[in-house]
Structure 1
Amino acid sequence: MSDAIADAKRALRAELRERRQSMSPQSIATAEDGIRLHLDDLVARLGVRSMSCYLARPTEPGTRAFILAAVERGIRVLLPVSRADGLLDWAVATADGDIGEGLFGVPEPVGELLGPIAVNDVDLLIIPAAAVDESGMRLGWGRGFFDKTIGSMEGCPPVYALVYDSEILVEVPRDLHDQPVTGAVTPARIVEFARAH
């Protein structure tokens, strides 16, 4: 990655992180309600029976209510668990599952791990993002876990990033290893991107 791209990513991530941290608890709760509604619509439209999602940090678009409702409806939800080698293990979400702190302070499930290839059987990937641009390029938080996962999957299913409405940008800095997404789910809408990559 060139220094200019790395610097641009770092600066944009810092701006987006600061914006998220300044949101009120009420705004975050309202956003989670919208995210859940649109994720429910997406799952129903795609006929999803097995999917991956993640446990959101307090300032991220919330996922917990959606995950619990999906599990109650019988959808198999895999949650990521970060590994020191840069790969993700996966654990099955349960209604009463324990949550701990992962390698980088991220909430993660505690329990039986299924290994990195378990995600190959899902119908849909829901992943975090700092921002997504109008072409579907995703800016992650800089550790590369989800880019590696998406890039290594054969027959990758649809991939949707969760962001706030203001985080769909005209363009984000990108490098060769960065992976585009199929769409984005925001509190107000579902956005589909043309697959020109």
Structure 2
Amino acid sequence: MPDAIADAKRALRAELRERRQMLSQSALDAAGAGVRAQLDHLVDRLGVRSMSCFLSTTTEPGTREFVEAAVGRGIRVLLPITRADGLLDWSVATPGGDIAEGLFGLPEPVGELLGPIAVNDVDLLVIPAAAVDRSGMRLGWGRGYFDKTIGSMEGCPPVYAVIFDSELVDEVPREIHDQPVTGVVTPTRTIDLAPAGR
């Protein structure tokens, strides 16, 4: 059975990756502007002073404009840095901060490394996803970094996954280690799906 679930996840990820690669630059630009507006509203609604976010790749709904603006507003934003042991280090975002290619070719900040527990003090986690279903289950990209992070946090704050509108689906394949999210942020809306602090 686990093999069937793993196969279903791989197939869905491949389909979603292909769909993202077909998007035009204007569609991606519009998505980034929409996500920034949605995230701005979310941090205001939750009264966020400290949060984590990720630096979007070229095919993800853009988060970089939001990160720059949040730092400019005085919000402390922690950005993830992948480690070979499956955990995430964190670095504080700075205005115009340098970006390098991380372990898996993903954009990561260049700066002082804070250990995995640095994220325990944030008010909000904003994480990437391939898809999320209506119960709040998230399909990641298969490396498990964010599932480990969320699963290890005591008193986990709200967790929102950033996806395109079409990636909120009825159901995603799930395994025992998969962690739900509180909600999703898309270019057009923010939807609460499951209670925070699971």
How far off is 1:96 after superposition?
Answer: 2.2
- The residue matched to 1:151 in structure 2 has which SS? helix
Aligned residues: 197
Q: Secondary structure at the match of 1:4?
A: helix
Determine the structure 2 residue equivalent to 1:127: 127
Q: TM-score, structure 2 length as denominator? A: 0.98
State the superposition RMSD in angstroms: 1.1
- 1:58-97 equivalences under 5 Å are 58-97=58-97
Give the whole-Å Cα distance in 1 for the aligned partners of 2:84 and 2:92. 20
Detail structure 1 runs of 4+ shifted over 2 Å in the superposition.
Answer: 194-197
Number of the residue aligned with 1:3: 3
Q: Which residue of 1 is the match for residue 165 of structure 2?
A: 165
1:183 partner letter: G
Could you tell me how far 1:194 is from its partner in structure 2? 3.3
Unmatched runs of 5 consecutive residues or more in structure 1: none
- The secondary structure found in structure 1 opposite 2:48 is coil
Q: What is the correspondence of 1:34-113 to structure 2 with a 5 Å cutoff?
A: 34-113=34-113
TM-score computed with the length of structure 1 as normaliser: 0.98
Q: Distance in 2 between matches of 1:136 and 1:112?
A: 33
Segments of structure 2 that go 5 or more residues without pairing to the other structure are none
Note the C-alpha offset of 1:111: 1.3
> What is the Cα deviation at residue 195 of structure 1?
3.7
Query: Deviations for 1:152-183, whole angstroms, at most 9, x for unmatched residues?
Result: 00000000000000000000000000000000
Q: Residue type of the partner of 1:42?
A: L
Could you tell me how far 1:40 is from its partner in structure 2? 0.2
Indicate conservation of the 8 Å contact 2:181/2:194, yes or no.
no
